Amino acid sequence: MRIAFLTAPEGVEEIELTQPWKAVLEAGWIPRLVSTEPGDVRAYRHLDKAGRHSVDDVVGEAEGGEGDGGSSPAALAAGFDALVLPGGVANPDALRMHGGAVEFVRHFVDAGKPVAAICHAPWTLVEAGAVSGRILTSWPSLATDIRNAGGTWVDEEVHVCRAAPSPLVTSRKPADLDAFCAALVEEFGGHGNRRG
């Protein structure tokens, strides 16, 4: 299975990228870093700069938007089996302002592919119109945004919502990463088995 990790060029919470990435590798799957710009993404440990991580694929602007050299969101999403959205405050805030990134997320949801999002990452799901009728968790400051977008927010270490159209695994914060990684591996693997 090929798993997309979508981040902005700057602001991803490093542990929320690297720990799920390791879990995907240990499951025997292929993780790929997708961003809105080529080169490297700058990760952070809360507000402190951390490592740089090489981008594998670039998502272009939304259909009809100005060309930026990236792949079309639909074509890029078609090549993956599941999506991980790491958090960090600045990361999803930048992603939700990039039409191509939002469309990329929407393609996973519309295709029924599983998505996992942690911490502030559900902001991108809100922008993609992917939380209405769903139950999810996040960093607590997103609760009102999720409710206003038609979702139900719960304060849980990890929550798996299997409501249509796609499975959704969410967690609140870095301290929940063990549970988040276990749930996403189980859900992604189970979904892959159900598909074929």
DSSP 141: G
Residues of 144-162 as b/e, b for ≥16 C-beta within 10 angstroms? ebbeebebebeeeebbbbe
Residue numbers annotated as active site: 119-120
- φ, ψ for residue 11 (rounded to 5)? 110, 0
Q: Is 194 exposed, middle or buried (0-12, 13-18, 19+ CB in 10 A)?
A: exposed
- Orientation angle between helical segments 14-26 and 177-195, nearest 10 degrees: 40
Q: Closest by alpha carbon to 81, among 171, 166, 22?
A: 166
∠ Cα 151 120 75 (to 5°): 80
